[in-house]
Each structure stands twice: as C-alpha cells, then as structure tokens.
Amino acid sequence: MTTDSDTAWATTTVAVTGATGRQGGATVRRLLAAGRPVRALVRDSAAPAAVALAQAGAELAVADFDEPSGLERALAGTGALFAVPPVAYGPAGGDEELEFARGRALADAAAAVGIRQVVFTGVASTSGAAFAAPGKRRIERYLHERIPLVTVLRPVRFMTNYLGTAVAGLDGVRDGVHRHLFTPDAPLQIIALEDIAEFAALAFEQPDRFAGRTLELAGDDLTPVEAAAAISAATGIAVRYEQVTHDEAAALNPDFADIRRQWDAGHRWHADIEALRVIHPGLRTLADWLAESGAAALRARLLGTP
C-alpha cells in the first residue's frame, strides 16, 4: 500500500553514485523512465557515459569519493540516494579500509545535506566467508546509524557478466568456453541489472515499505552447465562451461582459490527467488534476459560484429 509519505517522496530528486557503471546506469535509466528527477554523480562530466546520461535527462554533478568536501555540494538539494560502493583496491588487492572510508564519507555527506533515504547496493551473502565483502557490510551498518530510511540490496552475479568482465581468465565466453570458479552441476544464482534497478525504484517509490529491509537479489538459479546450454540455444553458437582448477584459481588470485573451495563446500548465495517474484512479478530469468538483449549482445561479442 502506498502511503501519503510515499507519495510525497515520489518527486524527490534521487542522487545516484556509480551512475556511469552498470548498476548505477541501469537505475538512472529506470528512474528517468518513471519520470523521477535524477542527479548523476560523475567524476568527469565530459566522459561519453556521463554525456549519455545528461542526454537521457539526468542532471550531472561532479564528485569524487576521495575528495569528501565536494560530496555535500554534489548532493545538496536531493532527498534520496542510490549508493553503489566505490571499488577500492590497494597493492594487495581489495582495500577494506579505503572502501569503508569512501562509504563513510558518502553517508556523512548525505546526512549533512538532509538526505533521509538511501538505497545501498552491495554483494550477496553466503553461509561462509565467500564474497564476505567486509567493507560493504561496514558501510551498511554505518548507513543505518546515519540515515533514517535505508534499504540494502545484495545482488548475486550479474547476467551481463557473460559478456565479459575485467578479470582475465574468468567469466565471459572465450573460444566457445565459459570458465569460472563455480561447481558445474550445482545451481548458481544470477540477476539482471534491470531487476536491481527495479527493486531500487520500488524502494524509492515506497520508502516506508522497504526501509530497514535487506534484500538478497537473484532472478534465476540454473547450473553453469544449464546456463551454457541456454546461451547456446539462444545465440546459435556452441558454448560449454568449464570450472577452473584450484591451482588456476590460485594463480589468478589467492582469494579466488578460497572462494572456489568454499563454493565446492556448499557455501553459496541464498536469495529467495520466489519471494522476490511476489514483490516484483517481472523478475527476469536467464531466458528472459537472453530474449530481451543478452543473446544479441553475446552474438555481437562472440562473432565480433557491431
């Protein structure tokens, strides 16, 4: 049920961090499509991705997490925030302290300008330490301390990862093979970016309903072998799945070897897909994503066509 306070928030400008990235970009597009004013926080307003956001109707504000003094200025006049935690890496890999410092600076700036609602997107949890994301969990707790209305989204692996990621040797499809850490014949939860944006939009539309909630997000749970077969059928290009060995994972990154070991031991994502579908009946399966855009994008990537 929509309340009077929900209605009052319906015209509040939403600030979006990570707007030129995947989750932030999808959320900007979803909010703009609904007629919601959006201010996209970007590091370079002249970058092609930022220009595209402006052309779509978003207001741009230049901000840098490593210069906290500018965050308040960028957020001033907005009433809600979609926060994508800034990736932080140091010489030894992920830098928890830097990630938390950036998230804390964003939360403090939001509180200082009077933002009352934040939708924060992080990483899905497991029963073990795989994908533990300690920096993101600390940011979640800090937001709850500083902001009245906080909704936490914890998405699993993105369906767009089949198009490739920045991690060499993992994900994407190369020479007809999709390689990853995951057990071939065990269900693997995945989510479409558009559905992350849909849950964010629902939270902004109904803050009283979603405040204080943490939603583990997934839309499908095929095994990697089944997913490869679905991609083959949708694209007409033969794709098979191959799990990297422990030694291969360790050579890429010692953390990957630990994740692979924990995954094989059964420590996996646990989103309740059927419950999520009650909230969002249009929740996409892999087949839905492939039919909408994924198959065409994969064919273009695999065949090298524009």
CATH of the domain at 293: 3.40.50.720
Q: Left (φ > 0), alpha (ψ -120 to 50) or beta: where does 40 sit?
A: beta
Domain range for 189 is 4-299
Per-residue model confidence as pLDDT tens digits over 38-91? 999 999 999 999 999 999 999 999 998 888 889 999 999 999 999 997 776 555
- Give domain status of residue 216, yes or no: yes
Average pLDDT over residues 243-258: 90
- Give domain status of residue 178, yes or no: yes
Q: What is the mean pLDDT of the chain?
A: 91
- Give domain status of residue 165, yes or no: yes
For residue 238, which phi and psi values (nearest 5 degrees)?
A: -65, 125
- Give domain status of residue 159, yes or no: yes
Per-residue model confidence as pLDDT tens digits over 137-186? 999 999 999 999 999 999 999 999 999 876 777 889 999 999 999 999 99
| Total number of domains constituting the chain | 1
- Give domain status of residue 306, yes or no: no
**Cα(273)–Cα(117) distance, rounded to whole angstroms?**
25
Per-residue model confidence as pLDDT tens digits over 276-295? 999 999 999 999 999 999 99
- Give domain status of residue 304, yes or no: no
- What pLDDT score was predicted for residue 9? 54
Measured between alpha carbons, how far is residue 109 from residues 71, 204, 264 in Å?
6, 19, 41
- What pLDDT score was predicted for residue 191? 98
- What pLDDT score was predicted for residue 130? 63
- Give domain status of residue 115, yes or no: yes
- What pLDDT score was predicted for residue 3? 52
Please choose, from the candidates 162, 304, 175, the residue with its C-alpha nearest in 3D space to the C-alpha of residue 231. 162
- Give domain status of residue 305, yes or no: no
Element housing 152 (H / E): strand 149-155
**Cα(155)–Cα(172) distance, rounded to whole angstroms?**
18
pLDDT surpassing 90 at residue 94: no
